[in-house]
Amino acid sequence: MGRAPCCDKANVKKGPWSPEEDSKLKEYIEKYGTGGNWIAFPQKAGLKRCGKSCRLRWLNYLRPNIKHGEFSDEEDRTICTLFANIGSRWSIIAAQLPGRTDNDIKNYWNTKLKKKLMGMHLPPQRKLAPFASSSQIPPFQSQPLSSSLYEECSSYYKSFSGLEAISFPSNYLSSSTSLATNPSIFQTHESCVSSMPYYPVNENVLMFGSEGSCRSSDDGSCTQISYGRDIKQEGMAFQSYVSNGLEENPMSMLNYDSNRVENLKQWAEKANAYFGEIPLQYDLDHDVKQLIRSSNSGSNSFLQY
DNA sequence: AATATGCACAACCGCCGGGTT
DNA sequence: GAACCCGGCGGTTGTGCATAT
């Protein structure tokens, strides 16, 4: 038995908000505030919406001082740098960018910034990576592909990532997401990772690259491959902090507002204390982070475009 | 002009953690 | 301490517009 739904789905409107709904929501909040209970909010405000939907609409769109439109170069740099250090903690990244919402930043990252970054590290004529696989075709892989293509793609991948091989955490492959039914996970042409050979290690894990690519633990058992997003993301984040140290943190390369840096340092300290040392693991975004770091360490900013 | 494809963004979904009972 | 509720979060999907064919 699952969790009870937060609202009566049958009597709740979904989809885009109308201007009338927007003004209703806005007026009510300006008059009475949110009331501290979003679940009860729609009824009070006379909206046929889920409370969560109201909250999201307010926070991401209607709230005062929301900044819409183009991200500045400095914002780009901030996002990239924070992403390299803390991963996809959009709410934390958003906290460093006044007026921007986590959703905004997440969308911006997924649709533009990541591509911009990856594109800069691809030879122009080969922006579209060939999809390939290897002889290690898992049973559910419908199309056999040549290993030569894999080799080409593999070197192509190495050429910009500097990584020999990569293993995916299993949470990229959640139980509800079958490769057979949702191949889109690996279809992004932004990364040749999509065509790394992969094979099941156990029922929940697929390995990419060679077996030797498993770098997870001392005994080679890959035990850090995790299910929870927190372990994965925070693990990467704080491994990064542990290994780089705040002094080497690429943030220092930004003209950072000192208060913001201080906030982040405090947060990082708390988090470090909480998580301690966490084994490094790779995921699809790892190489993006590598790119950011390596680019930042050079004389030319990767965001000079 | 019609259709296909790509892209950007808004919104939804489901999980998790913290607080309360 | 267990059960429940709610807010918050990140990942994913849906939709509409723009551009290419």
pLDDT tens figures, A157-204: 333 333 333 333 333 333 333 333 333 333 333 333 333 333 333 333
| Measured CA distances, A300 to A101, A115, A163, A253, A296 (Å) | 29, 18, 21, 12, 7
Structure tokens at A271: 């988090």
pLDDT above 70 covers a percentage of chain A that reads 36
Q: Which nucleotides of C are covered by protein (CB under 7 A)?
A: 5-16
A59: which nucleotide lies closest, measuring CA to C1'? C8
A13-62 adopts what CATH topology?
Answer: Arc Repressor Mutant, subunit A (1.10.10)
Structure tokens at A252: 């220092």
Closest CA to A166 of A153, A180, A181: A153
If one compares A261 and A96, the residue with the highest pLDDT of the two is A96
| C1’ B16 / CA A206, Å | 25
Residue A23 neighbours by CB under 8 Å, 6+ apart:
none
Residue A65 has pLDDT above 60, yes or no: yes
If one compares A41 and A293, the residue with the highest pLDDT of the two is A41
Q: What is the pLDDT of residue A291?
A: 67
| C1’ C18 / CA A239, Å | 42
SS3 assignment, position A201? strand
Tell me the C-alpha distance between A210 and A274, whole Å.
Answer: 33
Q: What is the pLDDT of residue A109?
A: 85
Residue A304 neighbours by CB under 8 Å, 6+ apart:
none
Beta carbon of A3 within 7 Å of strand B? Answer: yes
If one compares A77 and A294, the residue with the highest pLDDT of the two is A77
Q: Do the beta carbons of residue A231 and residue A170 sit within 8 Å? A: no
Neighbouring-strand partners of residue A210: none
Tell me the C-alpha distance between A90 and A102, whole Å.
Answer: 5
Distance, first Cα to last Cα, chain A: 52
Question: Which residues of A spanning 7-46 put their CB closer than 7 angstroms to strand B?
Answer: 9, 13-17
Q: What is the pLDDT of residue A296?
A: 58
| C1’ C13 / CA A256, Å | 36
**CATH 1.10.10.60 domain extents, chain A:** 13-62
| C1’ C19 / CA A78, Å | 31
Tell me the C-alpha distance between A257 and A168, whole Å.
Answer: 36
Structural element, H or E, at residue A42: helix A41-45
Amino acid at A60: N
Q: What is the pLDDT of residue A297?
A: 57
Q: How confident is the model at residue A241 (pLDDT cuts 50, 70, 90)?
A: very low
Q: What is the pLDDT of residue A44?
A: 87
Residue A267 has pLDDT above 60, yes or no: no
Closest CA to A200 of A163, A236, A167, A154: A167
Tell me the C-alpha distance between A163 and A159, whole Å.
Answer: 8
How long a stretch of residues is chain A?
305
E-strand ranges in chain A read: 198-202, 205-208
Neighbouring-strand partners of residue A208: A198
